[in-house]
Amino acid sequence: MAKRRTFTDQFKAKVALEALCGDTTIQEIAARHQVHPNQVSTWKRQAVEGMPDVFARGGKPEGPTEAKVKELHAKIGKLAIENDFLSQGLKR
């Protein structure tokens, strides 16, 4: 069974931008980047649908989500407890 390929966000944006320019056909873009034409069309559609969000934020990247902040706080707490435990072991 073939392993599923994953693509970076930068690669997807590059391919979608090429498709949006309209200089070449989707089939040509897909062949050049070795992806399926349906994938190029999907990335192009996602880029078009996501554009209003970019302009709503003023072009600034989104900050960390609340879930991500909670996850990082939990990790900090865990590391602090481990650090305290290990520092007590060294005092013996």
Instruction: Give CA–CA dist 23/76, Å, rounded.
Output: 50
Output the pLDDT for position 60. Answer: 66
Is the predicted pLDDT of residue 53 greater than 90, yes or no?
no
Query: What span, in angstroms and rounded, lies between the C-alpha atoms of 31 and 33?
Result: 6
Instruction: Decide: pTM greater than 0.75.
Output: no
pLDDT at residue number 68: 87
Q: Which pLDDT value is given to residue 59?
A: 60
User: Mapped to the 3 state alphabet, what secondary structure does the chain carry?
Assistant: CCCCCCCCHHHHHHHHHHHHHCCCCHHHHHHHHCCCHHHHHHHHHHHHHHHHHHHHCCCCCCCCCHHHHHHHHHHHHHHHHHHHHHHHHHHC
